[in-house]
Structure 1
Amino acid sequence: MEFVEIHPPDSFHPSLSKENFDIRDFMGTWYVAHSTLPLWKNKKDVAITYTPFSLDSSSDFSPRLLCFKDVVEYRAEGASSSSKPSRVEGIDTLLPAPSNAPSHFSPAASYKWRGKGLLMIASSYWQFLGYSSSWAVTYFSKTLFTPAGIDIYVRDGENGLSEELYDEIMRKLAALGGNVGKISKGMFQVKRSASGDL
């Protein structure tokens, strides 16, 4: 089975540093397969697409400030699978190293999200806790409007995670204990329309 490594929030583990974590590998579309966030309980077909964007208007990541576009699409649980999905756009910006970070640690896995348009006043903080080329576990800090939560992303929206891999991810989350272990107990599968209906 695939090796699974999950870290607590705000970890300084080398796998979450710029030396080992290349955010460019995570550009493109991910599907939210499982979540603890209440806002996805009555939604389906949740997908997040990340696209390079830089504040200096170049076509790639800014060398000064790493940021990228973030587009979330979803349908209401009872909506037709052929209906146009709802869409939320934002921009994610890499957070600097906190003051207690080791001097050699260059962060790469923690971001601030800010909405665009009418949601410009909304913001949140999120980070990767673990990842591979086919799945990722993300942690979202508590905001004024939403509780802290965990998402499990997959590249393959149709097939999702194998039962064995899901169980291993959940085991590792529970083993972290604390708030993450507690939150993970509320994990549920995010609904998805049948592949033939999309």
Structure 2
Amino acid sequence: MASHPLIGLPKVYASKGNKCVPPTNDFLLGTWHVTHSSLPLWKGKCNVNITYQMLPPDASSTIKIDDLVRYQALGSDKVKTVHGVDTPTPGNPGAWDWRGKGWLMIASSHWECLGFGNALDGNQWLVTYFAKTLFTPAGVDIYSRTPDGLPQTMIDEILAALKGLGVEEITELASSIFSIPQTSHAECPS
């Protein structure tokens, strides 16, 4: 069954409206295709996808999720990766703190779910907010389970819902969202 986009605010704006009721971990796990974003780091990229996998609990029994991002530069067949681990943000359901692995261990970020659901065709979607870091501005991404993405009418509804939250930063981010090419070819188009 399809759902209209129920979009909430990130916790930083909790005084201005409702926060997203977070999805279950089962909904979150698996591969998502980042089909739309306001983050400048995805300009000039294609086939951006993120795979979330549950990690075995550590001694503290803290839930941790392996976070593997794959992408290509436009005009390239080389797949690049960014690997990290997500841990739940204490006191903020649906929010995660990311820490890079390997040489990215010094990098960290905070992200949270703003909304999720199913499109009319059954495709699942997820909207995420990324807080500003030393290296990147704040941003909003739209994820789809399939590389084909969501119907444009659904994208328009999500963007309208984001703008309808009445928070200037979120409205500006929604207004700057661009599509990210998803191809079935080994090489991204130029």
Q: One fold, TM greater than 0.5? A: yes
Whole-Å separation in 2 of the counterparts to 1:54 and 1:6: 31
Which residue does 1:152 correspond to in 2?
142
8 Å contact 2:37–2:139 — kept in the other structure?
Answer: yes
Closer, same or farther in 2 for the Cα pair 1:118/1:162, shift >3 Å? same
Give the drift of 1:177.
2.5
29-38 vs 46-55, greater mean Cα deviation: 46-55
Deviation string for 1:133-186 (max 9, x for gaps)? Answer: 5000000000011000000000011x2110110110010011113211111110
Identity %: 41
Which residue does 1:15 correspond to in 2?
21
Deviation string for 1:8-33 (max 9, x for gaps)? Answer: 111564723xxxx3112211100000
Please give the secondary structure, in 2, of the residue aligned with 1:132.
strand
8 Å contact 1:22–1:108 — kept in the other structure?
Answer: no
Please give the secondary structure, in 2, of the residue aligned with 1:39.
helix
Whole-Å separation in 2 of the counterparts to 1:34 and 1:167: 11
8 Å contact 1:37–1:150 — kept in the other structure?
Answer: yes
8 Å contact 2:49–2:69 — kept in the other structure?
Answer: yes
1:129 aligns with 2:117: no
Which residue does 1:101 correspond to in 2?
none
Residue ranges of structure 1 left out of the alignment (5+ in a row): 98-106
Residue ranges of structure 2 left out of the alignment (5+ in a row): 119-123
1:184-195 equivalences in 2 (<5 Å): 184-193=174-183, 195=184
Whole-Å separation in 1 of the counterparts to 2:93 and 2:171: 23
8 Å contact 1:54–1:65 — kept in the other structure?
Answer: no
RMSD, aligned CA: 1.7
8 Å contact 2:65–2:87 — kept in the other structure?
Answer: yes
8 Å contact 2:49–2:70 — kept in the other structure?
Answer: yes
| Counterpart code for 2:117 | S
1:175 aligns with 2:164: yes
TM-score normalised by length of structure 1: 0.82
